[in-house]
Structure 1
Amino acid sequence: MNFIEKIGKIVSKNLTILVILVAVYCFFIPSTFQWVTPNMGRILSIMMFGVGMTIKRDQFKLVLERPRDVFIGAFCQFTIMPLVAFIISKIFNLSPELSLGLILVGTCPGGVSSNVMSFLAKGDVALSVSLTTMSTILAPILTPVITLILAKSYIEISIISMFISIIKTIIIPILLATLCSKLFPKINEFMNKLLPLLSSILLMMLVSGSISGSVESIKTSGIIMFLAVIIHHGIGFLLGYIIAGRCKMNENKKRVISLEVGMQNSGLATTLAFDHFTPVVSVAAALSGPLQTIFSAILANYWANKELNKDTDNRNEDNIIEY
């Protein structure tokens, strides 16, 4: 088991590079992973089951102990990204399907990998996990409703069918995993060790499936959609950090809010796009997966190095004083 844990740490550490390689490969040779596209809902459910095995009571306790922090994070999550997506779609004059895809990415809950990035960025990991959990619980209602409000002029949207899809894909696997972890603690212990490797593999599969199933649409949308997705996530990271600062949060919390707002569950967005709309709608989600991973990895690395430099400076000052 130690070997699997070591492999998991290596893969997690190099996840950004691996995601980029997978995305590029699938773009040029999509046939290899086209089998993943129709199975993305199942893959995401497995991923969420793994996440559910790691959820502890303390994470819900934190919501009661620090309601202000969790409320600010959840509020930013479901307002900034949807509104920014809507505004960008208007500025770039995107087609109805591409606009819907970008808005769908914005209305989805926080991405699971934000917890890993928060850890790497030396952020408040407990807050990150609580925010991801809370936004996921709220998603069955808020994702369809906000999507309908912002995108109803583009295409017909069924709130009920989207609600059922999110319940089946996200909520039920998490509930089953929570029950399983209580009944079978040894399986829970095993899953906690396996999760870094499993999550990384499943994330790469989701990226491969979304890219492979959207190659032609990506080629057609071209550089405009690429820029739209980059700006969407970039503004999310920036506004999350700024608003957290205005709310008098400390540096560790500001980093978490930034990552939670900027990172979306693109796997869910892709699944919803393929299940309820057309492949063109999935373009934003297909680009979002690898691009937000790159963005967040750069941010996490910057913040981690900033902390390292601070620690080094403090040690140097201590040495001078002692001398």
Structure 2
Amino acid sequence: MPTQRGPLRALADFAGRWFALLVLLAGVLGLVIPDQAAALTDYVPLLLGIIMFGMGLTLRASDFALVLRRPHAVLLGLLAQFVVMPLTAWGIGTALGLSGALLVGMVLVGSAPGGTASNVIVYLGRGDVALSVTLTSVATLLAPLLTPALVLWLAGSDLPVGFGALFESIVQVVLLPIVAGVVIRALAGRFVDAVLPYLPLVSVAGIMTVVMAVIGANADVLTSSGLLLVLAVILHNGAGLALGYLAAGAARLDASARRAVSIEVGMQNSGLAASLATAHFAPLTALPAALFSVWHNVSGALLATIWARKAEAAEPARR
């Protein structure tokens, strides 16, 4: 006899299903009540740490075994992640005339690892979930070294902060919480399995708060000259999705793996970029990350829907 879901579980399922719309609404709310939303910026690093801890709870040591079984697919995804996105961020931002804090913000987003929602999007789009989880996990573990190095390389002349400070921040808000989550999953698996269905509620609430806070803090800039930045974010995300897919196709990965690489490259951990920007740079630097948080969840959800429908249409033909 099936057990009845409680209201909290139903709310968590709703949050996971309507993630893109909820993040969009959070951005609108940041514009409507900018002063109240901006007051939440101090909590951005803490919120990201909580989200990363939740991600750690979903992982097992076996999730990293794919690195040994399919090293070429993992290496391709990581190279695309840390080459395509940083360079296209710098190229698009420069081509559109962005400079100073906004260009640094674009590079920060491009230099971040894959987004926390990417695994869900890959699952919904009938992609290779195991590859997606591995790429997200390994890229996040590499982020303390690669993200500061890429940011300093592409935007070094505009940075008031060095490699060490960025490295320390990423270790504190990303690496340590994830490791703590993995360890707790290993030691208290039954308890963690019981709370896993509720984690989407925590992640969605955290990302919504980050987006609302950053957009509220930059509401004046966004309303006066935000269209160019919105265009830059859309082009950046689109380039990542397309180039990730093409790179996986050139490497002759199957359709499900191509979808996973595409999403992992195109969807960034914009929460991390917003956290670093909030902690170390001017508030304006976090604006590209906030807009990316909104847009990449919308585009990812749309792409997943298209892929899922194609997969469903192809199933009768294979029978």
User: 10, 34, 37: which one pairs with 1:33?
Assistant: 37
Look up the match of 2:279. 275
1:126 alignment partner, one of 121, 124, 130: 130
**Contact 2:241–2:262 (8 Å) recurs in 1:** yes
The code of the aligned residue for 1:83 comes to L
Deviations 1:199-244 (A, max 9, x none): 2222222222221222123234321111011101111000000110
Q: Partner residue of 1:266?
A: 270
Q: Deviations over 1:63-103 (max 9, x none)?
A: 11111111000110000000001111221111221111100
Residue-by-residue CA offset, 1:101-137 (whole Å, 9 max, x unaligned): 1001000011010000000000000110000000000
Q: Which runs of 5+ in 2 are unaligned?
A: none
1:200 aligns with 2:204: yes
Unaligned runs of 5+ in 1: 319-323
Structure 1 length-normalised TM:
0.93
1:77·1:109 contact (CA, 8 Å) conserved in 2?
A: yes
Are residues 1:152 and 2:168 paired? Answer: no
Tell me which residue corresponds to 1:165. Answer: 169
Give 1:313 shift.
4.6
C-alpha separation in 2, matches of 1:55 and 1:23? 30
Aligned to 1:57: 61
Q: In 2, are the aligned partners of 1:121 and 1:303 still within 8 Å (CA)?
A: yes
Secondary structure at 2:268 match in 1: coil
Q: What is the rounded CA distance, in whole Å, between the counterparts of 2:93 and 2:54 in structure 1?
A: 34
Matched ranges for 1:106-125 at <5 A: 106-125=110-129
Amino acid in structure 2 at the alignment position of 1:158 = G
Q: Which amino acid aligns with 1:50?
A: G
Using the aligned pairs only, state the percent identity. Answer: 37
Could you tell me whether the CA contact under 8 Å between 1:37 and 1:212 is conserved in 2? no
Q: What do you get for the CA RMSD once the two structures are aligned?
A: 1.5
Corresponding residue for 2:178? 174
Question: What residue identity is the alignment partner of 1:287?
Answer: L
Give the counterpart of 1:311 among 284, 290, 315.
Answer: 315
Q: TM-score, normalised by structure 2?
A: 0.95
Whether the 8 Å CA contact 1:12–1:200 is kept in 2: the answer is yes
Question: In the TM superposition, what are the counterparts of 1:79-98 in structure 2 within 5 Å?
Answer: 79-98=83-102
Match of residue 239 from structure 2 = 235
Report the counterpart of residue 292 of structure 2 in structure 1. 288
Which residue of structure 1 lines up, in the alignment, with residue 17 of structure 2? 13
* 2:303 aligned to which of 291, 299, 323: 299
Distance 1:90 1:268 in 2: 22
Counterpart-to-counterpart distance in 1, 2:224 and 2:194:
44
Equivalent in 65, 69, 72 of residue 76 of structure 2? 72
3-state SS, counterpart of residue 111 of structure 1: coil
Judge conservation of contact 1:144–1:162 (CA < 8 Å) in 2.
Answer: yes
Q: Deviations over 1:9-47 (max 9, x none)?
A: 222111111111121121122234333211010011011
